Amino acid sequence: MLKLENISYSVLENGEKKHILKDVNLSFGKGQTYVITGPNGSGKSTLVKIIMGIISPTSGRIVFDGKDVTSLSVDERANLGMSFAFQRPVTFKGLKVLDLMNTASGKKNDLAGQCKLLSNVGLCARDYINRPLDDKLSGGELKRIEIALVLCRNSKLNIFDEPEAGIDLWSFENLTNIFKSLKSATNIIVSHQKKILEFADEVILLKNGKVEKTGKPQQVLPLLAGNQCGKLRGGNE
């Protein structure tokens, strides 16, 4: 349902070309859950932002449901059925959680449905539904609301960039259950967490902007043992 063909991304830094992603080729199947992992700075967030259209690749092609979407905007990709939760969620001053959830779901007055989704991400709906989505919310609250915003879109493709970041440990199990319940969609989750890696249908290991290995969790996890933090960008450029 999603294909990345020879995706490369580079930027100019102090007059020099910096290669962030190099010739990434990946295929994502319908109804499968993929976890992208790898050292800090290896290009994971860059890759998922390219899939969503938040940044444009320097070269390569993105095909979604048989359609070349490489030059489409974020909105156009969202309309085709992609949703995205940021590593660092954005805030919207003046907009309430309920307004955003209604906009995201396309339903005007679905108070009961939106409350249920907030409960699913571990938030007491009564306390949050009318709160503005601003920087007064804690990091973990923002992460949870952002996950609820993705859930209410009911998309074909859900992308979560480090959804576990800032989520306290006792809620972690609920979070993994949410991902397990999303089995009818294709899910791409960027994560460093073993528990999330373990339930992937396929794990993709990125290193220095390249795909180092793809495979079942039991094939990829041993490569990470003792090196979960790793050196920045793999340390062997």
Give the CA distances from residue 25 to residues 4, 21, 214, in Å, rounded to whole numbers and listed in that order.
Answer: 5, 11, 11
Q: Which residue has the tokens 């996950």?
A: 147
Tell which one of 7, 34, 41, 84 touches ligand ATP (CB under 6 A). 41
Q: What minimum distance in Å lies between the beta carbon of 127 and ligand ATP?
A: 30
Sheet holding 202-207, edge to edge: 82-85, 157-161, 186-190, 33-37, 202-207, 210-215
Q: What minimum distance in Å lies between the beta carbon of 227 and ligand ATP?
A: 14
User: What are the two backbone dihedrals, phi and then psi, of residue 197, each rounded to the nearest 5 degrees?
Assistant: -60, -35
Out of ligand ATP, Mg ion, none, what residue 33 binds, judged by CB under 5 to 8 A for its kind, is none
Q: For ligand ATP, which is the closer residue by CB, 55 or 72?
A: 55
Question: Using CB atoms within 10 A of its CB, is residue 229 exposed (0-12), middle (13-18) or buried (19+)?
Answer: exposed
Tell which one of 2, 4, 20, 182 touches ligand ATP (CB under 6 A). 20
Q: For Mg ion, which is the closer residue by CB, 45 or 102?
A: 45
Residue 37 binds ligand ATP, judged by CB under 6 A: no
Residue 51 binds ligand ATP, judged by CB under 6 A: no
Residue 111 binds ligand ATP, judged by CB under 6 A: no
Q: What minimum distance in Å lies between the beta carbon of 79 and Mg ion?
A: 25
Let me know: does 204 contact 36? Beta carbons within 8 Å. yes
CA angle at 102 for the pair 98 and 106, rounded to the nearest 5°: 175
Rounded Cα–Cα distance for residues 30 and 9 (Å) = 26
Residue 89 binds ligand ATP, judged by CB under 6 A: no
Q: Alpha helices, DSSP H only, in 10-160?
A: 44-52, 74-80, 97-105, 111-120, 125-128, 139-151
Tell which one of 7, 28, 33, 44 touches ligand ATP (CB under 6 A). 44
Q: For ligand ATP, which is the closer residue by CB, 22 or 61?
A: 22
Tell which one of 2, 26, 28, 46 touches ligand ATP (CB under 6 A). 46
Q: For Mg ion, which is the closer residue by CB, 115 or 150?
A: 150
Report which DSSP code applies to 132.
Answer: B
Residues that bind ligand ATP (CB under 6 A): 11, 13, 18, 20, 38, 40-46, 87, 233
